[in-house]
């Protein structure tokens, strides 16, 4: 299966932007509490989402048929965001981000179960390596 190169370019942007933002969040907590950080993140998302939606479709409308799925996705992402910021306030940034990326395992399992995506030995090996990597990244030697 071939994938468009632009998809990988967007992922690279995601990795760089979220990586830098996650790193900077720890510094921001010297002046802000986790809830304030999350609130400012929400403002940043709105500031970027509104113009992007306008540029892409020329309006700010969302199909009402999409709301029953779209609204819970937004809520889950918001709750996940506040959970991450709260974790970041109590853990070293490397540990928090290392563990947080293990959500890909859940995505992989849900995609296999509900979307009938293939579960090959390569994916299973990758999942096991992900678990091992998260364990290594989280391990704090005293």
pLDDT, residue 142, reads 60
pLDDT, residue 135, reads 83
101 three-state secondary structure: coil
Domain borders along the chain are 1-93, 101-142
The secondary structure of the chain in percent helix, strand, coil, rounded to multiples of 5, reads: 80, 0, 20
For residue 94, count other CB atoms closer than 10 A to its CB: 14
Percent of the chain surpassing pLDDT 90: 72
Which one-letter DSSP state was computed for residue 58? S
55 has a pLDDT exceeding 90? yes
pLDDT, residue 136, reads 85
pLDDT, residue 138, reads 77
Which one-letter DSSP state was computed for residue 59? S
Over residues 56-61, mean pLDDT = 92
Question: Mind listing the pLDDT tens digit for each residue in 64-113?
Answer: 999 999 999 999 999 999 999 999 999 988 888 888 888 989 999 999 99
- Indicate the pTM of the whole model: 0.81
Q: Which has the closest alpha carbon to 89: 46, 136, 134, 36?
A: 36
């Amino acid at each position: 299966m071939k994938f468009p190169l632009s998809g990988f370019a967007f992922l690279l942007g995601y990795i760089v932007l979220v990586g830098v933002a996650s790193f900077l969040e720890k510094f921001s907590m010297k002046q802000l509490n986790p809830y304030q950080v999350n609130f400012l993140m929400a403002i940043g998302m709105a500031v970027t989402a509104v113009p992007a939606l306008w540029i892409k479709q020329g309006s700010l409308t969302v199909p009402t048929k999409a709301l029953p799925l779209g609204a819970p996705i937004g809520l889950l992402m918001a709750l996940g965001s506040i959970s991450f910021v709260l974790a970041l306030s109590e853990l070293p940034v490397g540990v928090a981000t290392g563990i947080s990326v293990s959500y890909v395992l859940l995505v992989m399992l849900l995609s296999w179960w509900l979307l009938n995506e293939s579960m090959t030995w390569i994916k299973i090996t990758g999942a096991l390596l992900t678990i091992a990597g998260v364990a290594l990244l989280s391990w704090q030697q005293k």
